[in-house]
Structure 1
C-alpha cells in the first residue's frame, strides 16, 4: 500500500501538479473582476467561490487516476500479486489527495486574501477544505474507475462528479462561514462516507473492467 501511495504521489508531481492550485488561484483572481470591488460582497461570497474552485480543481487530474494503469496492465499486475482492488483504490485516494490537497490549502489561504475573506474565517475555511478535499479525492477516484475505458471519459466523469459533490459543497461552504450551524459535522460525515465507500465502488468498477 505504501509503495502504491508513493507511486501515485510521484505521478501527481511528475506532471503539472501545480495546475489545480493555479486554477484555484485563477478563479480567486477572476471573481473580483466579475462581481466588482465591493469588499463586503466579496467577503460574503468568498467561501462559496473558493469551494467551487476546489471542486473544479479536483476534476483536472481525473483522467490520469485509473485509466492509464488499466490500459497499461498495472492494475492486473497488482491483482496477480495479491493486492485487492479495494486496496488499490484506497491507495489511489490517499495518493491523489497528497498530490493536490496540501497545495490546495496553501492556495486557499492566498485566495482568501484576494477575496477579502475576514481573517477570523480563514481557519474555519482551511479546516472545512481540508476535510472536504478528502471527500473530493475519494469521489474523483471512484468516478475515474467507473468511467475508465469509456469514450470521452473526462467529460463523463465531470458530469457524474458534479451532482454527487453538491452535499459536500453545501455543507463545506456553510461550515467555512458559519461556525454555529453544525455544518462542519455534516460535512465531516459526508466526507467520511465518501472516503469509506469510494474504495469499494472503485474496486468493483476495476473488477468489472477486468472481466
Structure 2
C-alpha cells in the first residue's frame, strides 16, 4: 500500500501522446479565436500586399499574369512570418511555457500541436484566399490548381520552420527582426519550388517533381522541426 502511494504516476499510461496533441491543439485554437487580431492581421497583410503590387508596378494584365505566382507566394510567406513572433510569446510572458517545460509532457508533441493550430488559423485561410488574389492578378486558370496545391504543401513547412525561429527568439524582447534574419534564408527553397510549380503548370509542364520536393520538405519538417522546437524552447527559457 505504501509503495502504491509513493509511486510516481505513469504519464504515458494516464495520457497518450495523441490525447495530449489534441488537448494542446484545442487550447491553441480557442486562444486564437480570443485574439482575433492575430487571426486577421496576416490575412489583411496578404490582401494589402497583393492589392498594392499592381498599383506600384504595372496594371498590365499580361505582366501581372507572369508575376502572379511569385507575388502570391511572397505575400503568403511574409504573412506567415508576420504571425510567427507571437506563437510562443504569450505562453512565455505568463509563465505557461516554463511550467510546460518542467512538466513531463513531451515538448515535441506540444510544439507540433501549436504549429498545427497556427497553420489552421493562418496558413489554411491564406491558401483558401489565394485563388481570389490570383484572379485579381490575372493568373491563368491552368495555374490555379497548382497554386492551391503548392500552398497546401508549402505553408505548413513555412509554419514549421518559422516556429523554430520563434522558439529561439522567444526570450528576447525585440526578437522580430532576428526571427526574420534566421527564418528568411530557410524559406527561400519553399518559395522557389512553390512559385516554380505554378509557373510550370501555366506553361503546361509537369509539376509532379516540384510537388514531390515540397512534400519531401514537409515530411522532413514534420519529423525534425518539433524536436528542434522543443530543444530551442529549453535553450531560450533556461538562458
Contact kept? 1:90, 1:199, Cα under 8 Å: yes
Tell whether 2:93 aligns with 1:93: no
Contact kept? 2:169, 2:175, Cα under 8 Å: yes
Q: Paired residue for 2:187?
A: 165
In structure 1, distance between residues paired with 2:66 and 2:183: 26
In structure 2, distance between residues paired with 1:171 and 1:125: 11
Q: Paired residue for 1:193?
A: 220
Contact kept? 1:85, 1:207, Cα under 8 Å: no
Aligned CA RMSD, in angstroms, stands at 1.5
Alignment of 1:63-82 (within 5 A): 63-82=85-104
Tell whether 2:80 aligns with 1:53: no
In structure 2, distance between residues paired with 1:56 and 1:23: 8
Q: Please, what TM-score do these two structures have when normalized by structure 2?
A: 0.83
In structure 1, distance between residues paired with 2:222 and 2:45: 24
Contact kept? 1:97, 1:134, Cα under 8 Å: yes
Tell whether 2:9 aligns with 1:9: no
Q: Please, what TM-score do these two structures have when normalized by structure 1?
A: 0.94
**Post-superposition shift, 1:14?**
2.3
- Find the structure with the greater CA-based Rg: 2
Deviations 1:57-104 (A, max 9, x none): 001222211122123221233344421111111111111101112210
**Post-superposition shift, 1:12?**
2.3
In structure 2, distance between residues paired with 1:105 and 1:76: 33
Q: Paired residue for 2:165?
A: 143
Contact kept? 1:25, 1:110, Cα under 8 Å: no
Tell whether 2:124 aligns with 1:106: no
What runs of 5+ residues in structure 2 fail to find an aligned partner?
A: 1-20
Task: Give the structure, 1 or 2, with the largest relative contact order (CA under 8 Å, sep 6 or more).
Answer: 1
Contact kept? 1:67, 1:148, Cα under 8 Å: yes
